[in-house]
Amino acid sequence: MSVRVMCVGLACVDIVSVCKNYPEEDSDQRVLDFYWQKGGNAANSSTVLSLLGAKSEYMGSFANDNEMRFLQEEFTSQGVLTSNCHTYDTGYMTPTSIIIVNSQNGSRTILHASKNLPEVSLEDFKKIDLKNYKWIHFEGRPNLSGSSYEIVRMLAYIDEYNHSRSESEQIQTSVELEKPARAAELDQLLDKANYVFISKDYNQHKGLNSKEESARAFIQKCRKGAAVICAWGEDGAAAMDSQGQLVTSPCFPPDKLCDTLAAGDTFNAATIYALAQGKTLADAITFGCKIAGAKCGMQGIKGLKDVKFTEELQLNQ
């Protein structure tokens, strides 16, 4: 069986309205476009990985409703495996995001509703056969009790597996820390993975004001041998390894900014894709910035499969 890259986290339905400009409160206006699409950080990243050429899998929770069937059809059409997802039959709802896209500047405003669907548990995770995976990425998400402890336990489970394997057989791990409101819970993930992706918002919440400053600050909290990666939107990205080597990349904006929704998820996925291929940290974040820039010039992410320069990085399958 081909080795896979797995993303663990959220899949939701995005209900998107594209507006001429951001609406005023208590106003009434027609939208330029309206559509449903698959959303959620892990769901988006797993899809980008597949579009770039990786054998990709999403692992998360499904509610048994019509929205779940829409999500599963989307995953299947984009070549993403979902066979290890747990489905909850009654009393649960698929998470949904109402999204307003401003066509003037590509900004996206997200109103997310996630009522009661449980996150992936260690018991769910133990059912997979780890030998089938090259890389496992976790979207930092506290469970219903407000704790990230399940992700800590899953990463420890992978570490235990890796300790009994040769270096070539070991699974690389990564985590994403994005939401500042969850920082108190998510900080415990900093020293649990090989690569730590930290968002601009998360860094600024910690009082850090540049990608370089953020990389230098957070590498001190990562475990031995790890690397930290800080995307900074229009200012590109920076990364630092455990030897203190700082690398940076500029952003690569499209000719016309169209849609920034999922740009961060795209950067994470493209960077993982390059690292899994054996590229250097500098080359990987540059590739991530290029793919994220291309994504911002198109609606959604499906068009990434046609980006020509992806051919230089074909993941071994």
Query: Tokens representing 225?
Result: 């041998």
Residue 280 has pLDDT above 70, yes or no: yes
Extents of the domains making up the chain: 4-21+31-312
- Helix, strand, or coil here: 153? helix
Cβ(124)–Cβ(153) below 8 Å: no
* Alpha-carbon distances of 205 from 80, 186, 201, 261, 301, rounded to whole Å: 34, 13, 6, 21, 28
* Alpha-carbon distances of 251 from 10, 155, 216, 238, 300, rounded to whole Å: 27, 31, 20, 11, 19
Which residues lie closer than 8 Å to 80 by C-beta, 6 or more apart? 46, 47, 50, 56, 57, 58
Assigned CATH topology for domain 4-21+31-312: UDP-N-acetylmuramoyl-L-alanine:D-glutamate ligase (3.40.1190)
Mean pLDDT over the full length of the chain: 93
Q: Which residues pair with 18 in a beta bridge?
A: 33, 101
In which band, very low, low, confident or very high, does the pLDDT at 2 lie, cut at 50, 70 and 90?
A: low
Q: What is the pLDDT of residues 145-155, one digit of tens each?
A: 556 789 999 99
pTM of the predicted model as reported, rounded to 2 decimal places: 0.93
